[in-house]
Structure 1
C-alpha cells in the first residue's frame, strides 16, 4: 500500500470574517484561515474565530501587531497567542512578549511602503522570525519579487496570504503545508519547526480584477480611513494604555 502524505491549505492572513468569507474559503478548498483584523482586541478575535470554525474550515485567531509609534510602525503577524498584546509598543517589547508566549512570529509584506520590516530589521531579529511573506495579494509585483529574494538572503521559511480585506479575496492565495493542521497548536508547530510548504495563487482575469479592487481598498485604508483613526476616533481598543491591558505594557509603550 502506498502511504499518502497529509497536506493542508492555509490562507495565513485575512482581515474579514463572515458567512461569505467562509463560503469563499470552502469553495477554494481552503482548510484553514488565519483571522487577524486591525485594532481589535484578541479576546474578540478569538471569540469570532470560534464562531465561524466548523469541521470543514478551521479559523485561527491572530493579531497583526503594530510596533513602534504611528510614524515608525512595523507590522508583525502573531499566531498562537494565549494573552493579548497591544499595538504601539516597542519592537523589542513585542518580540519579547511573543517569545514568552511561544507564539509564531511572521513578517507580512516585507519592505512594502513605510510599515514593514526591512531586510536589516529581519537580519537584526533573525532568531525571532519564523517566516516571511513572499506573496501578498495586495502587494504589487515588484514587492512580491523582492520578498522572494529576502527568503534566500535571510534564510527564512516562506508563506503567502490573500491579506483579504474584501470577502471575495479569501483563498485566492494560500500556503500548502506538508502536514495535517487540525488546531492552532498544529499551525504554530508547523511554522516554528519549518515544515515543508509551498505558496500558490490563482491566475486569470477575475483574479487580476479582484487584485485591483484590493489595491484600491488599500489606498482608501491608508488615506481617509486612517486619518479618521488618527484624529477622530480617540484611543484604539488595542492602545497599550487601554484599561484592558492593566498597565502591563506601560514600560514598552510608544505613547
Structure 2
C-alpha cells in the first residue's frame, strides 16, 4: 500500500472504467483502492474483472450501480458487498429491499443530479439503508456539490466522493481518505458501514474543470446516441430483470 504518515486509506469510491491505464493512474494518484461499477454489466463479470486487476498495490472492489426505475426517471444506487446479482430497471423500492435483504453496503451517488439520482426525500426515506452520500462529483457544477453536501448534513449520513470516471483520464481527480487502512474489500465495507472518520479530497484547478467538461460531454453522448442504441438496437441487456440469468426472480418487478 502507499506509504503515508498515519494509518489511512485512499479510495476512489466509484469508477466506470478499468484497464491497465486506469490502474496506473490510480497508483500514481496514491490510491489504495478503487470501486469498479460499470454500466449494464452483471456482477459475476464485474467480480472477475476486479480480481484480475487487483494487486498488492491497488485493490479493485466490485460493485453495482443499479439503474432503478425507467430511463426517464431513473435513480442510481451504488451497492457494494452484494452476494447475489440485482438487475437494473426495477422500482427503487424493490432494489432497496433487495439490498437490505443481502445486507449490502449502499451508497447514494450524485444526489439530485439531473434525472438520474436519488432525491433528498429518497435519501431521507432510506436513511437506515444508505451508508454514505456523495458530496463531490467531477460531473457536478459547484451548486450540485453544495446541494449534495446539504443533503448529507441534513440527513446526518457520512460523506464520500468519487471520480465517477467514465473516462480513464478522470481517475485520481478526487478521492475519499478514510482514517483506517484499506487492504481488503471487507475493510472498505466496514469503513463505510461503521461511519469511520474520513475526508473528501479533490483538485480544484484546470484539471478539475477540464475533467468536468469532458465528463459532461460524455454524459450527453451516453444519454443520446448510446441511449438510443441501448433501448432500440442492442436487444435485452445483461442486467435487464427479465434476462435468463435472473431465473425469473424479478420478472414481476420489471418496469420494461
TM-score calculated relative to the size of structure 2:
0.95
2:67 aligns to what?
66
Give the drift of 1:230.
1.2
CA deviations 1:159-197 (Å, max 9, x no partner) are: 000000110111111000001111111111111111111
2:39 aligns to what?
38
Aligned length: 252
1:194 aligns to what?
195
Range with bigger deviation, 93-102 or 189-198: 93-102
Give the drift of 1:59.
0.3
TM alignment of 1:1-255, pairs within 5 A: 5-255=6-256
Give the drift of 1:250.
2.1
Instruction: Give the superposed CA RMSD.
Output: 1.2
Give the drift of 1:5.
4.2
Q: Please state whether the residue corresponding to 2:175 is helix, strand or coil.
A: strand
CA deviations 1:53-88 (Å, max 9, x no partner) are: 000000000000011222221110001111111001
Q: Please state whether the residue corresponding to 1:37 is helix, strand or coil.
A: coil
Give the drift of 1:144.
0.7
Give the drift of 1:122.
1.1
Q: Please state whether the residue corresponding to 1:71 is helix, strand or coil.
A: helix
Q: Distance in 2 between matches of 1:94 and 1:207?
A: 33
TM-score calculated relative to the size of structure 1:
0.96
Q: Distance in 2 between matches of 1:242 and 1:62?
A: 19
Q: Please state whether the residue corresponding to 2:196 is helix, strand or coil.
A: coil
Q: Distance in 1 between matches of 2:229 and 2:27?
A: 34
